Structure 1
C-alpha cells in the first residue's frame, strides 16, 4: 500500500538512539490515523523511538473495517523504489495490479511480495465481490545497497510454512524458524512470524540472539516477558534475547518481526527508500512526469500524485 498520510515526513534510520544488548525492551505507541471509508491505520514503524527492526522499515496495522458497502479499499497507482512490500491480510481480499502487468487477488493466509528495486508502480483495491470485513498488515523491507537497484518483481505465495509450538499456531512469512524456511525471497537476514493463540494459551518462542525483534498485536491481548500488550502498542526487543515467553489473555494474533540490525543508513519519504534526498526528489519528479515507473492498467480511478518533498520539487 501507499503511505497515504498527508503529513508525510522524512525518516532517517540513524536518527534513533543506539541500543545495546543490555538495553531494556521498549514500548512504542503506534501513530494512528483514519484514512477514508473508516479505515483505521496504526503505524508501528517508523516511529520517533524506533525507525527499523532489522531491514523491516514500515509496519501498518489496518482495519478491521467494514467494506461491505461503498467502494471499499481504493489505493490508486503509486510508485516505490528501494524496498520490498509485504501484504498480509487477516480478513478480506485485496486485488493487486502493477506496472509489470501482474494482477493478483490475495486472501487471508496468503502473502504478496513485491520487490520494487529500481522502480515499480502498483495499485490495491477491494474486489467487486468481497467479504464484508478487511483487516491486516502492510510491511516494507529496506533493500541493502547491493540489491536496491535490482529489477522489480512480484510473487504471490498462496501457501506458507505452518508450525505449532506450545499453544501457538505459527505462520512463517519470511526467513527461517523451527526448521522451516519461508519461500518469500528476502535479501537480508530476517524473520516474519504470524502467531495465533487461543485465550489463555502459552508458548516459548526461540529467538536468534543476534537479531533485534519487534512484536505488534493485531487481535486480542498478550503478556510478553511479563509486559502486557494490546492493540496500539509495539514492543521492541534489542539483540541478546534467545527466547520470548508469551501468554495470551484472549484469542490472539500477533506479528513477530526480527532481523540483524541494518548496517546501512536509509532515508525514507512517502513511498521511497533511498540514501540521499536527491534520489527521492528525482523519483518523485519522474513519477509525477510519467517517467520511469511504467503504467498500472485496469485500476478504476486516478493515480496518486507525489507530494512536495522537504527538499523541493515533486508535488
Structure 2
C-alpha cells in the first residue's frame, strides 16, 4: 500500500538499545491510531498505529495501517495506482475482501483472507493494489518491514504463503512470519520477525511462549483484549517491551476477538522514512524520488493497471530531525 499523504513526514527513526532486565510481567504501552484518508473522491480511511511519536518501530516493523470493515459500495474500496518502494518489505494480510496485486517484477496475484503476500522492495520496485469487483467488505492490515542496511539494496522479490491454522486454548493462530505456537513460516525475512493472526473465542485466555529478545506489538482488530494486565480496545496497539518469555492474551468480549501479533528484535539502525521510501539519509530519499519522477529503470513498470501511476509528493524544505523510540528502562 502507498502512503498517499500529500505532505508525508520525513522521519529519522532508530530503536533504542538500552539494556533490558528480564521481567515476569510485560510492561505494556498503549498506542492509539490516527485516521489517514487514502484519497480519491470517497476517501477510504485507514487507522495508522506505526509510525507515531510514541514509537516508530517494533522490531523492524515500521508501518502499520489497519482498515475496515469497509463497505466498498459506499467508499469505492481500494484503488492505489502504481507507486514505488525502496529499502523495505510490504506485508499484506486480509480479514475479508480481495485485492489484486501487480508489480514491476511481473507478479500478478490476489490478496485473500488468511493468505500472506510479501513483496520485497529492496533497491526499488513498484506495484498497484485494487480491490476486486467481487469484494463487498474490505478489511485487513497493511504492514511494512524495514530492511537492514546490508540488505536494503537487495533484488525485488514476491512471496505468497498460506499458513495452516493452529488451535490452542481457545485460540486459532495463523503464523505468517517467524515462529509461534510450534509453527514456523517458510517466508524469508532479513531480520528476526514474528507476524501472526490470533483469533480468541469469547472469554478465552491463551499464554504463548515468545522470544525474550523480541519486542512485541498486539493490534486489536475486533473485541476487547487484555495483554498481560492492560486492556486493549479495537484499533489500539499494545507494545510489550523485550525481556519476557510469555505473553498472555485474554478476550474480555462476549464475541470472538481478533488480533495481529507483531514482533522482532529491536532494530538498532537509524533509518530515514519518507513517503514510500526507506533510506539512511536525506540524499537517499531525494535520489529515489527523482528517479521515480523521471521513470527510471530502478522501479520498473507495472503492466495491466488501467490508469496513471502516482506522482511523488514534493520534498519538504527542512532538515531531517532525528526521531527515536523512547529509551527502555
Structure 1 pair 142–133 and aligned structure 2 pair: CA distance change class (3 A): same
Contact 1:40 1:64 in 2 (8 A): no
Structure 1 pair 234–16 and aligned structure 2 pair: CA distance change class (3 A): farther
**What is the RMSD of the two structures over their aligned residues, measured on CA atoms?**
1.9
Are 1:24 and 2:27 counterparts? yes
Matching residue of 1:295 = 301
> Under a length normalisation based on structure 1, what TM-score does the superposition of the two structures give?
0.93
Structure 1 pair 19–217 and aligned structure 2 pair: CA distance change class (3 A): farther
* Whole-Å separation in 1 of the counterparts to 2:75 and 2:50: 30
- Per-residue CA deviation, residues 79-100 of structure 1 (Å, 9 max, x unaligned), is 0000000000100000000111
Matching residue of 1:156 = 160
Contact 1:96 1:125 in 2 (8 A): yes
Deviation at 1:181, TM superposition (A): 1.1
Contact 1:165 1:204 in 2 (8 A): no
* Whole-Å separation in 2 of the counterparts to 1:178 and 1:30: 28
Summarize the alignment of residues 35-74 of structure 1 with structure 2, pairs less than 5 Å apart. 35-36=38-39, 37-68=42-73, 71-74=76-79
Deviation at 1:26, TM superposition (A): 1.3
SS at match of 1:200: coil
Summarize the alignment of residues 1-315 of structure 1 with structure 2, pairs less than 5 Å apart. 1-14=1-14, 20-21=20-21, 24-36=27-39, 37-68=42-73, 71-128=76-133, 130-157=134-161, 159-250=162-253, 251-291=256-296, 292-310=298-316
> Under a length normalisation based on structure 2, what TM-score does the superposition of the two structures give?
0.89
Which runs of 5 or more structure 1 residues have no equivalent in the other structure?
A: none
* Whole-Å separation in 1 of the counterparts to 2:164 and 2:15: 36
Deviates more, 1:63-72 or 1:206-215: 63-72
Which runs of 5 or more structure 2 residues have no equivalent in the other structure?
A: 319-329
Deviation at 1:179, TM superposition (A): 2.5
* Whole-Å separation in 1 of the counterparts to 2:251 and 2:267: 31
Contact 1:161 1:181 in 2 (8 A): no
* Whole-Å separation in 2 of the counterparts to 1:272 and 1:148: 11
SS at match of 1:266: strand
SS at match of 2:316: coil
Contact 1:16 1:51 in 2 (8 A): no
* Whole-Å separation in 1 of the counterparts to 2:61 and 2:291: 26
Structure 1 pair 231–224 and aligned structure 2 pair: CA distance change class (3 A): same
Bigger relative contact order, structure 1 or 2 (CA pairs below 8 A, ≥6 apart): 2
SS at match of 1:279: helix
Count of residue pairs brought into register by the alignment:
310
SS at match of 2:151: coil
SS at match of 1:282: helix
